[in-house]
A and B are shown apart, each in its own frame.
Chain A
Amino acid sequence: MRRRPTKTSPVTDTRAPDTDQVVLSVRHLHLETEDGTPLVQDLSFELARGETLGIVGESGSGKSLSLRSVLGIQPESLVLTGGIDCAARAAMVFQEPATALNPTMRVGSFVAGVWRRHHPGESRSAARAAAIELFDQVGIVDPAKRFGAWPHELSGGMRQRVMIAGALATSPEVLLCDEPTTALDVRVQAQILALLHRLVVEREMAMVFVSHDLAVVSSVCERLLVMRHGELVETGPLADVVAAPGQPYTRDLLAANLARRLADRGASPASLTTGGVS
């Protein structure tokens, strides 16, 4: 079960390798541009049913690309090799809710349309009711009224809730989140993170959460995967990686990112890791 490219790390992946329960398996994923510049190299990981995995790394580390490859929506110009085996329904929440919603479509119609696509034979009114129910579940106040709203009439946080409702409309078993809170202010970010955490627990979904922000990832994920320059640096249970980072890069990331934010909040790494994992 060793997935790290180096041998110096003391951390091993302690999750039981129960293959029946694997919903997403990425093996030796390799992405490069047409002229041969590697963007992701030999990335392998597995995701079990109901498991939450956070992928962290700096901008350009290939984390978003890897996530997009799972759904086959990486840029067409890239050359992909390796195996991606997604045995479950997967849905994605995008980084920028302002551009991920069609400006010419009412938000309710979008969610109802997605729901109906995944529930063939259901009536329009059933889809409408389902969309309103989903709006309610993602914490949209007055969901019936918001059904007819245009994307530009909603705030960033509301739009992201709509995106999440759209993802839920596919009844996903795996939720792929591509920096879903990066475009939001800190207060709204916390609300969306709490919402995602609640949904993952309630619906027993697996989740892959990509972010450059270790603190954000650690509030919603059990397991951590650190990437740099398109390669996997380190992976393991969140508490282990944070408590004893095996790689200098992870330590840097922790120092630059988590420590500062924890200091701001007056908390210690230990309290965060125990508090963040359900």
Chain B
Amino acid sequence: MSAPVAPVAAARTASPVAAEAPRRRTRGRRSARVKLVIGGTIVTAYVLAALLAPWIAPDDPLKQHIVDLLHGPSSTYLLGTDAVGRDEVSRLLYAARIDLPVAALVTVLPCLLGTALGVVCGYVGGWLDAVVMRISDLLQAFPMYVLMIVLVFSLGPGLRSLLISFTLVGWVVYARLVRIEVLRIREAEYITAAVTAGFRTPRIIVRHVLPNTLRQTVIYLTSDLVFAVTALAAFSFLGFGIQEPTPEWGNMIAGADPYMAQHPLLTIVPGLVITVLALGFAFLGDGLQDRKEQ
């Protein structure tokens, strides 16, 4: 009885094995798309909120309703008011107009600096490469957050010192990432072909090397936005970032902190707003990485 069963069982087990590779690829592609859609939707929603804040916000984010301090959620104040009577929803919406562009800036600036250094180091090499890489070793030997806090502390609070400290600390990863990519790309036959076609080095770097590093950089940049969004809020919470009365999610949490017991929503909601945006960028970065691996 067992003899005729065996081939059937074998066939049954064999077919999933044979189909496994393509199916896994399909599943991977689908999950990458799902991540990209989720991440894209979240980020788009935030961008729209920031752009449309003046029209969709129910109130002026700076206007203080002295009679309605720490008002609970109501039809007038959907999420209540803060300690000086400002409408929470309006502040959250207007804060997006600060947090999104600042997060983008503190990510893009180090990316530009790091990419430029990484490309030149990787393609030209020599003493410049040695010097830049030793500096990056030095910077990486410190914990990133500590270094940034020290820099912001010594430069004083505000947007300018945030930009400087994020750039001075953040370029390292981009430089290393791009440099490794360039070391790989410069061995590619199409670079040899460009050299034999008579193109000069600057043109080869800009037109042939740089575009081929972009994909890897964009993937990292998207994940880096996750860090930027949370780090920005952290600095503002500590009082080193964007200053009151400008609405910013981090300083909103800081301002609501003493009233946690009476009005917990004032800390919870900005925290959620930050977390969901970070999640959106994380999904985008993950999806891009997955798609690249296929």
Contact = CB atoms under 8 A, between A and B. Distances in A.
The judgment on whether A and B are partners is yes
Given A71-B196, A114-B198, A96 B189 contact: yes
Nearest to A104: B211
B199 A113 contact: yes
Contact of B197 (A103, A104, A117): A117
Interface residue tally on A, bucketed by range: 20 to 34
Interface residues of B, number: 16
B208 A105 contact: yes
Given A94-B193, A96-B189, A101-B190, A170 B198 contact: yes
B207 A105 contact: yes
A227 interface: no
Leading 4 A-B pairs by shortest Cβ distance: A104-B211, A102-B190, A100-B189, A99-B189
A92 B193 contact: yes
A111 to B, nearest CB: 9
Most buried by A among B197, B198, B207: B197
Contacts of B198: 114, 117-118, 170
B195 A114 contact: no
Contacts of B212: 102-104
Interface of B: 188-190, 192-199, 207-208, 211-212, 214
A175 to B, nearest CB: 12
Contacts of B208: 102, 105
A199 B198 CA distance: 21
Given A91-B197, A94-B193, 6 more contacts: A73-B195, A99-B188, A100-B189, A113-B197, A166-B193, A170-B198
Contact of A170 (B189, B192, B194, B197): B197
Contacts of A94: 189, 192-193
Most buried by A among B192, B193, B194, B198: B193
